[in-house]
Amino acid sequence: MNVLDFEKLIRSERTAKHYMLTRCSMVAGFRCPSCSGDRLYEVENGKRRRCPGCGHTFNPFAGRYLNNVKLSANEWLWVVKLFELETSATVIASETGISYPTALKAIDTIRSAIAEPRGSNGGAPCGCQETDRRGRLGALNGNGAPGEAEPIADNTILYHLSLGNDCLILTERSPEYGCLVCRDRRIDVVDHGKGFPRLRVYCSAKGFWPFAKERFVKYHGIPLDKLPDYLEEMSFRWLNRGTPLFDLILERLCHYAPAGTFRKRPRAKQLAH
Ligand SMILES: [Zn+2]
Protein backbone atom coordinates (compact mmCIF):
# COMPACT_ATOMS: atom_id res chain seq x y z
CA MET A 1 0.00 0.00 0.00
CA ASN A 2 1.53 3.30 -1.06
CA VAL A 3 1.28 6.49 0.98
CA LEU A 4 -1.57 7.87 -1.16
CA ASP A 5 -3.78 4.86 -0.42
CA PHE A 6 -2.61 4.89 3.19
CA GLU A 7 -3.66 8.52 3.52
CA LYS A 8 -7.24 7.55 2.65
CA LEU A 9 -7.30 4.97 5.46
CA ILE A 10 -6.12 7.33 8.15
CA ARG A 11 -8.40 10.20 7.14
CA SER A 12 -10.35 9.66 10.35
CA GLU A 13 -10.54 7.24 13.26
CA ARG A 14 -13.74 5.87 11.73
CA THR A 15 -12.12 5.02 8.37
CA ALA A 16 -9.10 3.49 10.13
CA LYS A 17 -11.25 1.35 12.40
CA HIS A 18 -13.48 0.26 9.55
CA TYR A 19 -10.42 -0.95 7.64
CA MET A 20 -9.09 -2.86 10.64
CA LEU A 21 -12.45 -4.51 11.35
CA THR A 22 -12.75 -5.53 7.69
CA ARG A 23 -9.26 -7.07 7.70
CA CYS A 24 -9.99 -8.87 11.00
CA SER A 25 -13.23 -10.36 9.69
CA MET A 26 -11.37 -11.61 6.59
CA VAL A 27 -8.73 -13.33 8.76
CA ALA A 28 -11.07 -14.88 11.34
CA GLY A 29 -14.71 -14.26 12.25
CA PHE A 30 -15.59 -12.32 15.40
CA ARG A 31 -16.31 -14.44 18.44
CA CYS A 32 -16.96 -13.99 22.12
CA PRO A 33 -13.74 -14.22 24.18
CA SER A 34 -15.72 -15.73 27.07
CA CYS A 35 -17.73 -18.54 25.42
CA SER A 36 -16.52 -18.44 21.76
CA GLY A 37 -20.08 -17.72 20.60
CA ASP A 38 -20.20 -16.10 17.17
CA ARG A 39 -23.74 -14.69 17.23
CA LEU A 40 -22.92 -11.17 18.36
CA TYR A 41 -24.49 -7.76 18.10
CA GLU A 42 -23.06 -4.27 18.25
CA VAL A 43 -23.53 -1.96 21.24
CA GLU A 44 -22.32 1.57 22.09
CA ASN A 45 -22.55 2.73 18.45
CA GLY A 46 -20.43 -0.16 17.22
CA LYS A 47 -17.59 0.41 19.71
CA ARG A 48 -18.19 -2.92 21.44
CA ARG A 49 -19.89 -6.24 20.78
CA ARG A 50 -22.18 -8.20 23.03
CA CYS A 51 -22.70 -11.94 23.15
CA PRO A 52 -26.36 -12.86 23.76
CA GLY A 53 -25.24 -16.35 24.84
CA CYS A 54 -23.33 -15.27 27.97
CA GLY A 55 -24.02 -11.53 28.16
CA HIS A 56 -20.33 -10.60 27.81
CA THR A 57 -19.59 -7.18 26.26
CA PHE A 58 -16.18 -6.70 24.70
CA ASN A 59 -13.95 -4.74 22.35
CA PRO A 60 -14.24 -6.23 18.81
CA PHE A 61 -10.46 -6.84 18.72
CA ALA A 62 -10.52 -8.91 21.95
CA GLY A 63 -8.28 -11.94 21.78
CA ARG A 64 -6.37 -10.76 18.72
CA TYR A 65 -2.77 -9.54 18.67
CA LEU A 66 -4.06 -6.04 17.99
CA ASN A 67 -5.64 -5.97 21.42
CA ASN A 68 -2.33 -6.42 23.24
CA VAL A 69 -1.60 -2.69 23.01
CA LYS A 70 -4.07 0.05 23.76
CA LEU A 71 -3.82 2.17 20.64
CA SER A 72 -6.47 3.87 18.55
CA ALA A 73 -7.08 2.41 15.08
CA ASN A 74 -5.29 5.38 13.54
CA GLU A 75 -2.25 4.92 15.78
CA TRP A 76 -2.09 1.19 15.02
CA LEU A 77 -2.13 1.80 11.27
CA TRP A 78 0.64 4.38 11.63
CA VAL A 79 2.74 1.97 13.70
CA VAL A 80 2.29 -0.76 11.07
CA LYS A 81 3.20 1.65 8.27
CA LEU A 82 6.33 2.88 10.06
CA PHE A 83 7.31 -0.69 11.00
CA GLU A 84 6.94 -1.68 7.34
CA LEU A 85 9.40 1.11 6.53
CA GLU A 86 11.86 -0.30 9.12
CA THR A 87 11.63 2.72 11.38
CA SER A 88 12.97 2.50 14.93
CA ALA A 89 10.80 2.58 18.06
CA THR A 90 12.21 6.03 18.89
CA VAL A 91 11.07 7.44 15.55
CA ILE A 92 7.69 5.65 15.75
CA ALA A 93 7.12 7.19 19.18
CA SER A 94 8.06 10.70 18.10
CA GLU A 95 6.15 10.57 14.79
CA THR A 96 2.92 9.21 16.30
CA GLY A 97 3.02 10.90 19.70
CA ILE A 98 2.70 7.59 21.58
CA SER A 99 5.13 6.86 24.41
CA TYR A 100 8.37 5.01 23.73
CA PRO A 101 7.41 1.99 25.92
CA THR A 102 4.09 1.73 24.04
CA ALA A 103 5.87 1.91 20.67
CA LEU A 104 8.25 -0.83 21.85
CA LYS A 105 5.35 -2.98 23.05
CA ALA A 106 3.56 -2.52 19.71
CA ILE A 107 6.68 -3.55 17.79
CA ASP A 108 7.17 -6.61 20.03
CA THR A 109 3.51 -7.51 19.38
CA ILE A 110 4.04 -7.24 15.62
CA ARG A 111 7.11 -9.50 15.86
CA SER A 112 5.19 -12.08 17.93
CA ALA A 113 2.35 -12.01 15.42
CA ILE A 114 4.76 -12.49 12.51
CA ALA A 115 6.56 -15.35 14.28
CA GLU A 116 3.53 -17.21 15.62
CA PRO A 117 1.44 -18.41 12.67
CA ARG A 118 4.38 -20.30 11.20
CA GLY A 119 5.09 -22.00 14.52
CA SER A 120 1.55 -22.49 15.74
CA ASN A 121 2.20 -26.17 16.31
CA GLY A 122 3.10 -26.25 19.98
CA GLY A 123 4.91 -22.92 19.80
CA ALA A 124 7.96 -24.38 18.07
CA PRO A 125 9.50 -22.05 15.54
CA CYS A 126 9.20 -23.03 11.91
CA GLY A 127 12.76 -24.23 11.60
CA CYS A 128 12.38 -26.73 14.44
CA GLN A 129 9.34 -28.30 12.82
CA GLU A 130 11.31 -28.70 9.63
CA THR A 131 14.08 -30.38 11.59
CA ASP A 132 11.68 -32.90 13.00
CA ARG A 133 10.20 -33.69 9.60
CA ARG A 134 13.46 -33.95 7.75
CA GLY A 135 15.61 -35.62 10.34
CA ARG A 136 18.15 -34.31 12.77
CA LEU A 137 20.89 -31.89 11.97
CA GLY A 138 24.32 -33.38 11.63
CA ALA A 139 27.93 -32.30 12.00
CA LEU A 140 30.50 -33.13 9.39
CA ASN A 141 34.26 -33.18 9.61
CA GLY A 142 36.59 -32.52 6.71
CA ASN A 143 35.22 -33.04 3.22
CA GLY A 144 32.85 -35.91 3.98
CA ALA A 145 29.56 -36.37 2.14
CA PRO A 146 26.36 -35.14 3.84
CA GLY A 147 25.34 -38.76 4.41
CA GLU A 148 28.32 -39.23 6.74
CA ALA A 149 27.22 -36.52 9.17
CA GLU A 150 27.37 -37.34 12.86
CA PRO A 151 24.30 -36.59 14.96
CA ILE A 152 24.64 -33.59 17.25
CA ALA A 153 22.92 -32.88 20.54
CA ASP A 154 19.80 -30.70 20.37
CA ASN A 155 21.01 -28.44 23.15
CA THR A 156 23.95 -27.21 21.07
CA ILE A 157 21.53 -25.55 18.63
CA LEU A 158 20.32 -22.15 19.75
CA TYR A 159 18.05 -21.58 16.81
CA HIS A 160 17.26 -23.14 13.46
CA LEU A 161 15.29 -21.52 10.69
CA SER A 162 14.43 -22.92 7.25
CA LEU A 163 14.43 -20.41 4.42
CA GLY A 164 13.31 -21.93 1.14
CA ASN A 165 16.05 -24.43 0.34
CA ASP A 166 18.49 -22.81 2.74
CA CYS A 167 18.91 -23.20 6.50
CA LEU A 168 20.09 -20.79 9.13
CA ILE A 169 21.51 -22.36 12.28
CA LEU A 170 22.81 -20.54 15.31
CA THR A 171 24.97 -22.25 17.90
CA GLU A 172 26.90 -20.99 20.89
CA ARG A 173 30.56 -20.48 20.05
CA SER A 174 31.43 -23.81 21.60
CA PRO A 175 31.30 -26.61 20.74
CA GLU A 176 32.46 -25.65 17.29
CA TYR A 177 31.77 -27.64 14.14
CA GLY A 178 33.55 -27.30 10.81
CA CYS A 179 30.23 -27.48 9.01
CA LEU A 180 26.70 -28.74 9.55
CA VAL A 181 24.34 -30.74 7.40
CA CYS A 182 20.77 -29.56 7.10
CA ARG A 183 18.21 -31.00 4.67
CA ASP A 184 21.00 -33.06 3.09
CA ARG A 185 23.08 -29.99 2.30
CA ARG A 186 26.39 -28.86 3.73
CA ILE A 187 26.20 -25.44 5.29
CA ASP A 188 29.32 -23.61 6.38
CA VAL A 189 30.05 -21.05 9.03
CA VAL A 190 29.27 -17.58 7.68
CA ASP A 191 29.84 -15.65 10.90
CA HIS A 192 32.58 -16.75 13.24
CA GLY A 193 31.24 -14.73 16.10
CA LYS A 194 33.13 -11.49 15.50
CA GLY A 195 30.02 -9.41 14.91
CA PHE A 196 27.93 -11.46 17.33
CA PRO A 197 30.49 -12.62 19.95
CA ARG A 198 28.40 -15.37 21.51
CA LEU A 199 27.12 -16.85 18.27
CA ARG A 200 28.37 -19.01 15.46
CA VAL A 201 26.18 -18.76 12.38
CA TYR A 202 25.80 -21.47 9.73
CA CYS A 203 24.04 -20.48 6.52
CA SER A 204 24.69 -19.81 2.84
CA ALA A 205 27.26 -17.08 2.38
CA LYS A 206 24.96 -14.98 0.21
CA GLY A 207 21.33 -14.14 0.67
CA PHE A 208 19.57 -14.13 3.99
CA TRP A 209 22.33 -13.66 6.56
CA PRO A 210 23.93 -10.51 5.09
CA PHE A 211 20.39 -9.10 4.70
CA ALA A 212 19.52 -9.87 8.35
CA LYS A 213 22.87 -8.87 9.83
CA GLU A 214 22.83 -5.46 8.18
CA ARG A 215 19.55 -4.81 9.99
CA PHE A 216 20.48 -6.44 13.32
CA VAL A 217 23.57 -4.28 13.85
CA LYS A 218 21.32 -1.21 14.12
CA TYR A 219 19.79 -2.53 17.34
CA HIS A 220 23.02 -2.42 19.40
CA GLY A 221 22.15 -5.72 21.09
CA ILE A 222 19.13 -8.04 21.03
CA PRO A 223 17.82 -9.88 24.12
CA LEU A 224 18.53 -13.57 23.57
CA ASP A 225 14.93 -14.59 24.34
CA LYS A 226 13.68 -12.20 21.66
CA LEU A 227 16.17 -13.30 19.02
CA PRO A 228 13.81 -15.92 17.49
CA ASP A 229 11.16 -13.25 16.92
CA TYR A 230 13.73 -10.90 15.35
CA LEU A 231 14.90 -13.72 13.08
CA GLU A 232 11.32 -14.58 12.10
CA GLU A 233 10.73 -10.91 11.27
CA MET A 234 13.86 -10.88 9.09
CA SER A 235 12.84 -14.11 7.38
CA PHE A 236 9.37 -12.61 6.76
CA ARG A 237 10.99 -9.51 5.23
CA TRP A 238 13.41 -11.65 3.23
CA LEU A 239 10.80 -14.04 1.86
CA ASN A 240 8.46 -11.14 1.00
CA ARG A 241 11.11 -8.73 -0.31
CA GLY A 242 9.77 -6.73 -3.21
CA THR A 243 6.20 -7.13 -1.88
CA PRO A 244 4.35 -4.35 0.00
CA LEU A 245 4.25 -5.57 3.60
CA PHE A 246 1.60 -3.31 5.14
CA ASP A 247 -1.41 -5.59 4.62
CA LEU A 248 0.63 -8.73 5.33
CA ILE A 249 1.68 -7.32 8.72
CA LEU A 250 -1.82 -6.12 9.54
CA GLU A 251 -3.18 -9.55 8.64
CA ARG A 252 -0.82 -11.19 11.14
CA LEU A 253 -1.98 -8.74 13.82
CA CYS A 254 -5.61 -9.62 13.11
CA HIS A 255 -5.04 -13.27 14.06
CA TYR A 256 -6.23 -14.50 17.45
CA ALA A 257 -3.23 -14.90 19.75
CA PRO A 258 -2.76 -18.32 21.42
CA ALA A 259 -3.36 -18.32 25.18
CA GLY A 260 -0.32 -17.19 27.17
CA THR A 261 1.31 -15.35 24.25
CA PHE A 262 1.71 -12.15 26.22
CA ARG A 263 2.82 -13.50 29.58
CA LYS A 264 5.73 -11.48 30.89
CA ARG A 265 9.04 -13.07 30.10
CA PRO A 266 12.00 -12.74 32.47
CA ARG A 267 14.73 -10.45 31.21
CA ALA A 268 17.33 -12.41 29.34
CA LYS A 269 20.98 -11.88 28.62
CA GLN A 270 21.70 -9.36 25.91
CA LEU A 271 23.21 -10.64 22.71
CA ALA A 272 25.81 -7.94 22.29
CA HIS A 273 27.44 -7.08 19.01
ZN1 LIG B 1 -20.25 -15.34 25.09
Domain boundaries, the chain: 126-246
Q: How far is the CA of 59 from the centre of ligand 1 (A)?
A: 13
Ligand 1 mean position, distance from CA 13 (Å): 27
Ligand 1 midpoint to CA 58 (Å): 10
For residues 220 and 22, give the distance between their C-alpha atoms in angstroms, rounded to a whole number.
38
Give me the sheet containing 57-58, strands edge to edge.
41-43, 48-50, 57-58
The two most distant CA atoms of the chain are separated, in Å, by 70
- 8 Å CB contact between 161 and 231: yes
Q: Is the pLDDT of residue 209 over 70?
A: yes
Average of per-residue pLDDT across 87-111: 96
Distance CA 81, CA 67 (A): 18
Question: Mean pLDDT of all residues in the chain?
Answer: 85
CA 166 to chain centre: 19
Q: Determine the distance separating the centroid of ligand 1 and the alpha carbon of 174, expressed in angstroms.
A: 52
From ligand 1's centre to the CA of 43, what distance in Å?
Answer: 14
Give yes or no for residue 117 having a pLDDT over 80. Answer: no
Q: For residue 3, what are the CA distances in angstroms to 17, 65, 157, 237?
A: 18, 24, 42, 19
State in Å: Cα 35 to ligand 1 middle.
4
The yes-or-no verdict on residue 133 having pLDDT over 80 is no
Which of the listed ranges 95-99, 119-123, 125-129, 174-178 does the model predict with the highest average pLDDT? 95-99
Instruction: Please give the single-letter amino acid code of residue 8.
Output: K
If you measure from the C-alpha of residue 32 to the centroid of ligand 1, how many angstroms do you get, rounded to a whole number? 5
Under the banding of pLDDT at 50, 70 and 90, the label for residue 164 is confident
Check residue 175 and give its pLDDT: 75
3-state helix, strand and coil shares in percent for the chain, rounded to the nearest 5: 45, 20, 40
Rounded mean pLDDT, 144-172: 82
199 or 122, which is more confident? 199
Quote the ligand 1 centre to 106 CA distance (angstroms): 28
Please tell me the least confidently modeled range out of 10-24, 36-50, 147-161, 239-253: 147-161
Q: What is the pTM of this model?
A: 0.85
- pLDDT band of 147, cuts 50, 70, 90: confident
Comparing 10-19, 46-55, 57-66, 115-124, the range with the smallest average pLDDT is: 115-124
Contact in structure between 92 and 82 (CB atoms under 8 Å): yes
**Residue 103 CA to ligand 1 centre (angstroms):** 32
